[in-house]
Every structure is written in C-alpha cells, then in structure tokens.
Amino acid sequence: MTTPHPASLDLPGKVALLTGASMFTLRPEPSIGLGELRMSDGPTGVRGMTFTGGRTVALFPNATLLASSWNTGSAYEVGRMLAEEAVAQGVHVVLGPTINLHRSPLGGRLFEAYSEDPLLSGVLAAAYVRGLQDHGVGACLKHLVANESETARHTVDSVVDEATLREVYLLPFEIAVADADAWSIMAAYNRVNGVPATEQHHVINEIVKGEWGYRGLIVSDWWATTSAAAAANGGLDLVMPGPAGPWGAHLVAAVEAGEVDEAVIDDHVRRLLLLAERVGALGERPGKSPGEQPRSPGEQPGKSSGELPAPDSPVRRAQLTKLAAEGMTVLKNEQATLPLARGTTVALIGRHAVDTIDMGGGSAQVNPPYQVSVAEGLTALLGDAVTVVDGVEVRDRPVPAAPGFAVHPVTGEPGVQVMVYAENGTLIDERHAASGATMIGIDDDLPEPPHVVRLRARLPEGGRVRVGGIGAGSWQVRAGDHVERFELALSSGDVGEAVLRPPGATTLADVAPGDVVEAEVMPASTGPRGKRGLYGLAAHPAPDDVESVTARAVSAARAADVAVVVVGLTEEQETESVDKTTLRLPGAQDDMVTAVAAAARRTVVVVNAATPILMPWLDQVDAVLWAGLPGQEGGHAVAAALLGDIEPAGRLVTTFPAADGAAPAWSVTPEEGRLGYTEGAFVGYRGHEAGRAPQPAFWFGHGLGYTTWAYSDAVLLDEQGRRVAVTVTNTGGRSGREVVQVYFRPDDPRQPVRLVGWQAATVPSGESARVEVSADPRVWRRWDDERGTWESLPARGRILLARGLGDVRATLELTGR
C-alpha cells in the first residue's frame, strides 16, 4: 500500500503525531488509518508497556553473552524469538539492540551492548534486526551516538573527533542500517561535540539521513528532548514519551514563526507513517497487532496467544539454555579440569550460586516466569553429588523481598501486598507486587495523587531479618515488636534516579515464623509531575558474618572432589544510570575464592557478570568459566556448560584489563561537563596492542572452549589481503566450534590493529576444516577529515589469524597497495 500523505492533516494534527501518547504508545489517527503504535523496551526480552509488574515474558541471556558466540545465526534467532514475544503482546517496535561500544570497562550499561569492537557489534546487530523485522516487528538501534557511559548521562558532552566518530562509534549504526535497514534509531541523552544528540543536524541529517540514505524514524530517548525548533530541524522525528513534551504547541508556533519549515514536519510525519506501515499499524485495520496473532484483550500473563511459545514453554527453555551456554567462555582450564565428569562431588559455593544474577538493571529489565539459579541447575544434573553453600554478601543496597521469603499476607502468593491511599485516606489502588516492588506514578493512572503507600508481606520462615523500605519518602517500618522510622531522599531529584536507583534503608528485627511485616511510606515529590518512582519492601534473612560463611565454604570445599565458586556483580554495578568505580568484585568475594582455592583439591570459578572483573586469585584456581548474565535458564545453562553437555564455545567480546585503570580508556567522569574520547580509535584491544595500556588479563577474542586447535596453511587469497584461508584442525578429544578471527595490523602507526572478519567452523575431534574469511571493507578505510571523504587503507602491514591477540596463530605480510 502507499503511505498516506501527511498533507491530509493540518499542522497541529501533524505535530500532534510527533510526540508519544503515553510512556510507550503513539497517538492513533483514524482519519488516515493510523492505529496505535506500541513500543516496548528490549533488548533481552520484550517487557511490554509497563516498567514493573507487567506481563510475564521470556528473559534472554544478556547482550555480551549472546555476542560471545560470534554467531550471526544466533543473533538472528534471538531477533526472531523477540519478534514472537512482541507479537504475543501486541508490541510493534522493540527498543533494541543497544550498539554503543564498550569504551571504558567502567560503563554501567555495557551489559546491554555487544562489544568493544565496532565490526562485531554492527554485524551481530544487523542479524538481530533482520530477525525482528523479517517477522514484522521493528527494531530500534540505540543510542545515537557516543553514549558509552552513564555518569551525568543527561548532560555529558562526549567530545569525539570526526574520524573516531565515524570509524568507531557510528560504524555499528552504519552497518545495521546498510545491512538490515533498521526501521528506527534512538537519539541518545548526551551531547556530542557540544550539540545534544536529539539536535544533531550533523549526525542525523547529514550523516544518517543524508550520506546513508536512511529512510527510518529517529526517536528521542525518553525525556531526552529539550527543544522544539532545534530538535525538529536537527532531524529528530519523534519525541518520547508523551503526552506532555517540548513539541506540541511550541513546535506549531515555531513553524508559524518560520523557524521550522513545514516540509521538515512533513518529513517527520512521513517517516512515522512509514514505520507504522512497516509494522502493520497503518491500513484498513488500524490498531492491529504486528504479525498474525494479536493478543486477545483478556489474555492472562504468562500465556501466549496462538501458536507462539509461552515464556515458560519447553521450547523457550531449550532455546534459552542453548543460547546462554554456547556463549559462555572458558578463560582458563588447567589439566582439563572442565568439563566436570559426572560422578564428581561438587562443593558449590557463593551468593551467586543461590541467587544467580540473570539480567542487568534499568530499562532492560523484564518480569520473567522464573529464574533458575546455578544451585538448582547443577543439582538437577548431579543430584546429591552437589553440596550448596551460600557465600558472602555481594550487595550494599537493600533489595526488594525475594518472592519465596515474602508472601502476600492474604493470598499467600509469593510477593508483597501494596495499597495506595489518597490524602483523605481513601484506598485508591491495591496491587500484588510479585517482585517485592512496584512503580508509583509511572505505569498507573491513579484517580487521585498517591499520598501513602503501604507494603505488607508475611514471612513464613521468620527469624532474624533485615527489613526496610526502598523509595524516596518518609518511612515507618514495623516488624515484630520493632518499629523504625526513616527519611529517604534522592541525591539528584531526578525521576530517573527515583525509578532506577531509589534510595533504601533497613533495620534488623526478630520475626516469628508467619508474622506479617509492614512498611508505610509518604512518597517524596519528584518534580512538577508529582510523586513517581519505584517503591519496595526489603525483607531478607539477616546476613551472617564473613568468617562463618568462609569457614563453611572451606569445609565444604575440603570434602568435595572439586569446588565450584560462583562470583560476580549485581545490578548495583551493571545497570543503567550509574557507572562502576572499580573492576574489583564487591564484598569479600575475592577473599572467599582465595580461601576456598587453598583448601580445595580443584577450584573452578564461574563468573556471573556481563563485563570485565579483576581476578586476583587467577593463579590459584584451576579453571574459570565466564557465564555472563545468562537469562531465565541461567542455572541450567551454567550446569550444561560445566558438564560439557553444551560446549561453552564463547570468545570474549571485550578485553579484560589486568588492573583498575589499565585500559586505553578508563575515566567516565566528565570534566567541566566534557568527556574526551582522547584515545581516538585506539579503544579496547586496539589500544592494548599499540602499547597504550598494559597487557590485559584476557584479550578480546580469547576463549578456550573444550578442545584444542592447530592452524596450518594460512594463505592470502588476494594481494590486498581482503580474503584469507586457513586450515583448522581439532586436535582435542571432542567436537568443538572454532572462531577464526582475522585482524589487520596496518603499517601506519596512526592506524590501530582491527578485527576485519571472522568465520566459525564446527569440527569433530581429529578432523580439519578449510576456513575462508573475507574482510569487511568498512573497517579497511579511514576518514580523511580535511577532505571530508573516506579513503581506503593501503594493503601494507600484516594480517593476523588469532584466537585473540594474545594467541596469534599465523601472520601474513601485506606489501601491496
């Protein structure tokens, strides 16, 4: 069909379409057949149109874990499954993939993005986008551009020279536009070289829409737009969320005043209508859901419509286990400690073993049907041979009550009862918060402003508990005989903090088994739009001291054939809105590993974190398996990887520095508002290789898998080095998957080494495969800023075939042009 022409609407009618109707929906316009277009956050699950308490949906492995497979087929498959998850709930656009790069390892949001390498990020993103869009659901590349850290994220000015911007940070966007024609792109919160990303005429109009010929829609990050004329002229097409926002009447006035040409508005509307057409929200059936099987209005959470797999169906379980386990990465494996043989007795130790972290924090969070811990997963495979020992504390901040520990006092369902009262004492809302927390003033439409929120839960086990409140406001907490009052304030007054990182406080109390604990809060105001934020009840068993925990771990380790210690980060470090300050593991986890390693016959460490950590105990342990944030099937996937039922064939997507600060880009703190990308194109392994940072602990591309490989007969297939071939022989005892990585090290020292291509081969034990790899021309060029053009790099330098740059298997000289 032909997209309706925006001329059939008057100016206010057109402008009205260019701001959202709600948090995640756009305005329908029946007169032109435009239905309600719905968006949902991604990228590792389709959360739906609310922040918390929404529908139950599948939780996928996080982006770095998925990317570690270096497998475009898997990325496509993830996109396809996410399209199913979207269709099942009537969502037209999934807000992902996140394709910012891992610039500094401190970035809090790296877990959501694929890699430090622009080619790997772009090629995987393109496959993921195709997987979504081939099935009728729009993708949204985010966040355009130079949005690699979270500190002062609404104001930071990323200062990036033009060549670096194009060669490195824009490249994943360029690839995903050129190779997959992503239907939308999200403009970031930050500024780029002094100009807000939502007003970036240079990036949006000149490069993306101009040079790349992009036809899709540019949507603002949520609440990012601060101007009318500047943003509309800068190429931003759509302001989110709505209905309030800086456009509306201001933009109409700007057009009437001649500051914005009406043709600019028409272009924005045309792009919006093209998106609507592409996702099936435009046409004879306005409002129809994407795909063929829209959700019926009364459908229950957790059930899926039509033939689509439910989030907890056997097919989803198998898919998610495989995706997670295949990306897990063997970083060290002395004397073939891994895979563990069946029959081995295992002391499984660590807070992350019993409370495995399956996703990062912030807008990427979803409400999964269940989450399998490593303890559950390994016990399911090994039964009594596993002894589970909880580990040391890994968090500083209070977290909402775990569903098993707290139940609704009336219904007995896992979770917390929430009652919201108006100022006159009327009950205006009652909810069940399965996760222990709920959003106030964001997902709801309360008849009157909330004045008091009461959270109640029964604690079937009781005992000595740590109980408290989460959320800004005046609190009163009652547990057993204990009553405590406290004031919790936001440090910034920013609604983002109220939603993503609310303050919390707890107290210790003795609670009889089955007693009800209760917390009451008068929420603080978070600005002109009233009281908004996340509110939760904290209730957990009181923590044990480090010495007793470690003593139990050590004694279990002594008694078993092997100790498996699961360590990691939590949503306190890996989250939207804050950055890390160190790569050290939180709490006393390092000391616990050291103590266990000294006592155990063999020690395996499983790292449950998406991004680099420091491993001061590396020399003392026998094996290290990096497991990422593995999604709802996490524990099953870790168990399958540990036992070798699925080969953890991952290769790192980010370099692991050897110490804090030992990376080419480190600080994420703006100075006078500016964050200089001074390392230029020498980010990650590129900078380490050039000697701009010390040797890393593990290189980008490193990963041992469960077999060994010999490389032979490496040859250039053309003089330019654009195609190479090599024979890889599986010299180990089991079938495996090898990722042949090809790097180009130009002669010119101003040009960093770079990944130019890769190809994977699955080869049975003792057999060989001839593998050909083509270089992507988009990493074989440099931006000549003086002339304003791309220039192909001369074919002078070396081609390296490597299993990460710490293990180069063949070097081919390039002497041509």
Pick between residue 99 and residue 566 the one whose CB is nearest to ligand BGC: 99
* Cβ at position 146, least distance to ligand BGC in Å: 14
Nearest to 517 by CA among 474, 477, 466, 460: 477
Among 128, 222, 685, 698, binds ligand BGC (CB under 6 A): 222
Q: Which residues of 295-333 are buried (b: 16+ CB within 10 A; e: fewer)?
A: beeeeeeebbbeebbbbbeeebbebbbbbbbbbbbbbbb
421 binds ligand BGC (CB under 6 A): no
Say how far apart CA 167 and CA 122 lie, in whole Å: 12
Pick between residue 221 and residue 520 the one whose CB is nearest to ligand BGC: 221
Residue 221 designated active-site: yes
Pick between residue 41 and residue 157 the one whose CB is nearest to ligand BGC: 41
Nearest to 14 by CA among 376, 334, 256: 256
Give how far Cα 437 sits from Cα of 52, 109, 457, 538, 576, Å. 8, 22, 11, 9, 18
Nearest to 93 by CA among 245, 257, 277, 254: 277
Q: Which residues of 737-769 are buried (b: 16+ CB within 10 A; e: fewer)?
A: bbbbbbbbbbeeeebbbbbbbbbbbebeeeebb
Contacts with 277 (C-beta within 8 Å, 6 or more apart), sequence order = 1, 3, 283
Maximum alpha-carbon separation in the chain: 82
Nearest to 365 by CA among 100, 722, 57, 653: 57
Cα-only R_g, the chain? 27
Say how far apart CA 304 and CA 172 lie, in whole Å: 33
Say how far apart CA 817 and CA 814 lie, in whole Å: 9
Say how far apart CA 353 and CA 415 lie, in whole Å: 22
Say how far apart CA 164 and CA 398 lie, in whole Å: 41
* Cβ at position 605, least distance to ligand BGC in Å: 32
* Cβ at position 41, least distance to ligand BGC in Å: 5
Nearest to 431 by CA among 536, 302, 310, 516: 536
Say how far apart CA 61 and CA 630 lie, in whole Å: 4
* Cβ at position 66, least distance to ligand BGC in Å: 17
* Cβ at position 498, least distance to ligand BGC in Å: 12
Nearest to 120 by CA among 165, 77, 70, 73: 70
Angle at 783 between CA 778 and CA 785, to 5 degrees: 165
Interacting positions 442-471 with ligand BGC (CB under 6 A): none
Say how far apart CA 336 and CA 326 lie, in whole Å: 18
* Cβ at position 142, least distance to ligand BGC in Å: 5
Pick between residue 47 and residue 351 the one whose CB is nearest to ligand BGC: 47
Pick between residue 243 and residue 616 the one whose CB is nearest to ligand BGC: 243
Among 117, 167, 221, 679, binds ligand BGC (CB under 6 A): 221
Residue sitting closest to ligand BGC (CB): 363
Point out which residues pair with 565 in neighbouring strands.
Answer: 349, 605
Angle at 367 between CA 365 and CA 369, to 5 degrees: 140
How many chain residues interact with ligand BGC (CB under 6 A)? 6
Pick between residue 236 and residue 641 the one whose CB is nearest to ligand BGC: 236
* Cβ at position 431, least distance to ligand BGC in Å: 21
Pick between residue 221 and residue 326 the one whose CB is nearest to ligand BGC: 221
Pick between residue 221 and residue 776 the one whose CB is nearest to ligand BGC: 221
- Mapped onto helix, strand or coil, the DSSP state of residue 779 is helix
Say how far apart CA 751 and CA 815 lie, in whole Å: 16
363 binds ligand BGC (CB under 6 A): yes
* Cβ at position 323, least distance to ligand BGC in Å: 22
* Cβ at position 246, least distance to ligand BGC in Å: 17
Among 55, 142, 270, 316, binds ligand BGC (CB under 6 A): 142
* Cβ at position 42, least distance to ligand BGC in Å: 8
* Cβ at position 38, least distance to ligand BGC in Å: 13
85 binds ligand BGC (CB under 6 A): no
- Residue 166 DSSP label: I
Say how far apart CA 681 and CA 296 lie, in whole Å: 50
Pick between residue 140 and residue 802 the one whose CB is nearest to ligand BGC: 140
Catalytic residue among 221, 358, 515, 579: 221
Point out which residues pair with 761 in neighbouring strands.
Answer: 738
Pick between residue 63 and residue 564 the one whose CB is nearest to ligand BGC: 63
Instruction: Check: CB of residue 754 under 8 Å from CB of residue 686.
Output: yes
Instruction: Check: CB of residue 734 under 8 Å from CB of residue 644.
Output: yes
Owner of token pair 């990887």: 641
**Side-by-side strand order, sheet with 416-421:** 427-433, 416-421, 452-459, 515-523, 473-479, 482-488
Among 83, 95, 144, 374, binds ligand BGC (CB under 6 A): 95
Pick between residue 57 and residue 728 the one whose CB is nearest to ligand BGC: 57
Interacting positions 583-642 with ligand BGC (CB under 6 A): none
End-to-end CA gap in the chain: 49
Among 29, 36, 41, 277, binds ligand BGC (CB under 6 A): 41
Nearest to 147 by CA among 569, 576, 494, 699: 576
* Cβ at position 350, least distance to ligand BGC in Å: 31
Pick between residue 502 and residue 650 the one whose CB is nearest to ligand BGC: 502
Q: Which residues bind ligand BGC (CB under 6 A)?
A: 41, 95, 142, 221-222, 363
Catalytic residues: 221
